[in-house]
Amino acid sequence: MTMQVVQLDALDARIVELLEAEPRIGVLEMSRRLAVARGTVQARLDKLIARGAIKGFGPEVLPEAIGFGVMSFVTLEISQRYGHQAVADHLAEIPEVLEAHTITGSGDLLCRIVARSNADLQRVIDQIVGYEGIVRASTIIALAELIPYRTLPLVRAASGA
Amino acid sequence: MTMQVVQLDALDARIVELLEAEPRIGVLEMSRRLAVARGTVQARLDKLIARGAIKGFGPEVLPEAIGFGVMSFVTLEISQRYGHQAVADHLAEIPEVLEAHTITGSGDLLCRIVARSNADLQRVIDQIVGYEGIVRASTIIALAELIPYRTLPLVRAASGA
DNA sequence: TTTTCGCTGGACACTCTGCGCAACTCGTAC
DNA sequence: GTACGAGTTGCGCAGAGTGTCCAGCGAAAA
């Protein structure tokens, strides 16, 4: 079930760009900056959201700012007898697990985990491997964030800019 | 330089939760739902943003919705003669590199990369390893997203809920 | 040529925001 | 006990933005 792909043009990209830079900006101000009619910006934005290119405008919570200063990537190997879904359900109950993917290669799952400290990370990992469906965990700690998560360059590239 | 930690309470968590669920909701409506004064919600929100717990309300772009359906994690090993920063600068110029971290363990860098297809991923990786500061790359392709990126459970946990 | 589609510019009523204010409650320091 | 500061409340105001119409217009498709 491949997701429908939205082809963006330059205006779409500039809208996203503006919103990324100044999220509280509002449709009217955007239309002024981009020198197009308000209705146009509104229509484009509605289209982007309707097609799923933009998911929403939720608050971006920074884990390190609320006490979770340690970030790590953990590769999990799971027992064949347990399905991926069962393990996912287990992981979903642990708040420190921010995301999880099934992957190719030596491991089975890759997940992003935060913790309050290195010692706290041990606690979280113990909680993860405490589940019998998980055979072993391999932990990689992120030391520094060289490139914080971003999508702007991608949007520009996709719009042909 | 440890970031200042913000201690959240239950009201903070409920505000974040509401915003996450309905981003376009507005302060007034939030105050109604939470049965507190508008000024209170406004003050809390300002505080959360000022202290850095919430970064902003930028649009969340879904790479797969704009044509980048392949997601991967690439571990890079870099030459000692080149600094991390030089490599980061190189990576930053590639739009498909969504984030990058320095890490512990066998590799030096871990980055998240998207591409339009598996063949396209090859192109991106070639572009990455084309830089002489990078010795080798090890690619892991994400097959399925078991847990999409989330921070809500973390916020609840941090607020003592 | 005619139709369709997207953009424009304008209008309307409605709602929200930013801001300030006086009053109240609470924990703490004196 | 009393005073203080911080946080919350409820209120009001002016300004601005939003959602939603509409008619006109040009370009591209039929």
Structural contact between residues A55 and B60, judged by C-beta atoms closer than 8 angstroms: yes
Looking at domain B63-142, does it have CATH number 3.40.50.10260? no
Quick one: closest CA in B to A83, which residue? B146
* CB-based contact, A58 to chain B, within 8 Å: yes
pTM over 0.85: yes
Nearest to B151 by CA among A38, A42, A99: A99
- Average pLDDT (A106-125) is 95
Asked if the model's pLDDT at residue A1 lies above 50, the reply is no
Asked if the model's pLDDT at residue A147 lies above 50, the reply is yes
Does the nearest atom of strand C lie within 7 Å of A42's Cβ? no
Q: Compute the half-sphere exposure of residue B122: CA atoms within 13 Å on the CB side of its CA.
A: 2
Task: Give me the residue from A5, A87, A112 closest to B65, CB to CB.
Answer: A5
Task: Give me the residue from B67, B98, B144 closest to A149, CB to CB.
Answer: B98
Q: How far apart are CA A6 and CA A9, in angstroms?
A: 10
Query: A140 falls in which pLDDT band (50, 70, 90)?
Result: very high
Bases on strand D under 7 Å from any protein CB: 7-12, 16-22
pLDDT, one tens digit for every residue, chain B (161 residues)? 445 678 899 999 999 999 999 988 999 999 999 999 999 999 999 999 998 899 888 899 999 999 999 999 999 999 988 889 999 999 999 999 999 999 998 889 999 999 999 999 999 999 999 999 999 999 999 999 999 999 999 999 998 76
A71–B52 C-beta distance less than 8 A = no
What residue segments make up the domains of chain B, in order of their start?
Answer: 10-59, 63-142
User: DSSP letters of B104-140?
Assistant: SSS-SEEEEEEESSHHHHHHHHHHHHTSTTEEEEEEE
Does the nearest atom of strand C lie within 7 Å of A43's Cβ? yes
- How many Å from the N-terminal Cα to the C-terminal Cα in chain B? 29
Q: How far apart are CA A91 and CA A69, in angstroms?
A: 20
Task: Give A13→chain B minimum CA distance, Å.
Answer: 11
Looking at domain B10-59, does it have CATH number 1.10.10.10? yes
Cα B136 to Cα A60, B71, B74: the distances in Å are 33, 19, 10
At B1 the pLDDT is 46
